[in-house]
Amino acid sequence: MQARASTAPPPGRTARAWTPGATVFRWLWRTVWLACLVPLIWLAFCAYADRLGANPIEHITRATGDWTLRLLLVTLAVTPLRQITDWHWLVRLRRLLGLYAFFYACLHLLTYVWLDQFFDIEGIVKDIIKRPFVTIGFAAFVLMLPLALTSTHGMVRRLGGRAWQRLHKLVYAVGVLGVAHYWWLVKKDLTEPILYAAILTLLFGMRLWHARRLRAHVAAQTA
């Protein structure tokens, strides 16, 4: 048993995982880049065509918030997906996805500050202190800032891989805070927040499961 384990590849690693060539990857990257922009284009179109409904500002706030959360979950799905499929090249899309999540978070915050509160700084500060769901949402945004700022190759190099990775573990907190933010603001129907929470839990579970398998593997090898 142990002898077999020591020669077997690490768990989840198949011999030949598909990897796109440079050209295919470039196109994939561009497709993802454009796809992430579609929600914004659609929102702009709706605004232009007067299709935002009776309460346009609420519509924009919800749409930008939804897409922040969705892209955050997609970003968090990259690692588990990589671990299952062995498509390690996926990690090269992760920064793009993460930065798009941040981009929509910025739009979401801007909508709130500008369209909803109209730069009423006093009101905003009061809101952040007093309303748990605003507090949490704002905290999530603040935690995203260092991640976005250190997303460049230069910053990764300057921080060193290990420190960078430790810092970027903050994304888990952002995910939890983001879902809690949504959960807390809903009046009654929790269907969607529950769905987001379930996906987040699943993604965390997959990571833990993988980490445990890896530990078991290492233990088996060193035994």
Q: Give the interface with another protein as residue ranges (CB under 8 A).
A: 53-55, 57-58, 115-116, 118, 126-127, 130-133, 184-185, 187-189, 191
Query: Which of 93, 41, 90, 45 is closest to 67 using CA atoms?
Result: 41
d(CA 215, CA 115) in angstroms, rounded, equals: 50
Query: Which of 69, 50, 57 is closest to 197 using CA atoms?
Result: 69
What are the angstrom distances between the C-alpha of 31 and each of 51, 86, 165? Answer: 27, 21, 27
CB of 122 to another protein, least distance (A): 12
CB of 189 to another protein, least distance (A): 4
Please identify, using beta-carbon distances, which residue of 17 and 186 lies nearer to another protein: 186
CB of 12 to another protein, least distance (A): 39
Query: Which of 110, 105, 112 is closest to 68 using CA atoms?
Result: 105
CB burial string 90-124: b at 16+ within 10 A, e below: beebbbbbbbbbbbbbbbbbebbeeebeeeeeeeb
Backbone angles phi, psi at 117, to 5 degrees: -100, -10
Please identify, using beta-carbon distances, which residue of 133 and 172 lies nearer to another protein: 133
CB of 113 to another protein, least distance (A): 13
Structure tokens at 134: 């605003």
Please identify, using beta-carbon distances, which residue of 162 and 188 lies nearer to another protein: 188
Please identify, using beta-carbon distances, which residue of 15 and 54 lies nearer to another protein: 54
CB of 138 to another protein, least distance (A): 14
Please identify, using beta-carbon distances, which residue of 133 and 204 lies nearer to another protein: 133
